[in-house]
Structure 1
Amino acid sequence: MSDITPELVRHLASLSRIDLHDEEVTSLTSELGQIVESIAKVQEVATDDVVATSHPIPLQNVSRPDEVGETLTQEQALSNAPDSADGRFRVPAILGGEQ
């Protein structure tokens, strides 16, 4: 049997500033009790020789090494731009009045 009581649920709800009706208190008392009991069962079988894990399958970084490769020249990058000026993309202003 867990130590979760309706008074504890009301107290926690008060601390959380949650207004609970009597039916909700009854329901939460039962649900929280079951959760506490389930955690207790897991703690009974947990042993020191079992390493805690955050994921069941070991993960590794799958990104490739950062290597310098071929890059576009400034002219190539701007070749398909609808508008450019002074070696940069030229776009319509998005702030200010209509143009």
Structure 2
Amino acid sequence: MAIDTRVVARAAHLARLQVDDNESAELCGRLNDILAMVDQLQQADVDGVAPLAHPLEVHQPLREDRVREPDVRDKVLPNAPASEDGCFLVPRVID
């Protein structure tokens, strides 16, 4: 599919862009070059190639999941303005 100035004008209208005639001709050339490159990529033989999530072999190092700070709820709960059954009570913010 070749892109002409009519298609560029329609796309510019839909995108609410102002494109003059000189820019329209230049955009036609650029967009046609992009489409030609996509067509070239479509012709690549990819049979037997496994899909990749990432082009590089990158692994995320994971740290050991362990508790680093002690549970201090029993120490700070008496300082709370209101508590019930070991939980902090806060004012209702959503009606």
TM-score by length of 2: 0.64
Give the corresponding residue for 2:59.
60
Question: Is residue 2:29 matched to residue 1:30?
Answer: yes
Ranges in structure 2 where 5+ consecutive residues have no aligned partner: 73-78, 80-95
Counting aligned pairs with the same residue, the percent is: 25
Q: How does 1:12-51 map to 2 (within 5 A)?
A: 12-51=11-50
Q: CA RMSD in A?
A: 2.3
Q: Which runs of 5+ in 1 are unaligned?
A: 75-85, 87-99
Q: How big is each residue's C-alpha offset from its partner over 1:23-71, in whole Å with a ceiling of 9 and x where there is no partner? A: 11001000000000001101101423223334211333322121124x4
Aligned length: 74
Going from structure 1 to structure 2, the CA distance change for 1:57 and 1:43 (only over 3 Å counts) comes to same
Task: Select between 17-26 and 39-48 the one with higher mean Cα deviation.
Answer: 39-48
Letter of the 2:31 partner, please give it: L
- List structure 1 runs of 4+ shifted beyond 6 angstroms: none
Task: Give the Cα–Cα distance (whole angstroms) in 2 for the partners of residues 49 and 26 of structure 1.
Answer: 41
TM (normalized to structure 1)?
0.61
Secondary structure of 2:61's aligned partner: coil
Matched with 2:89 is none
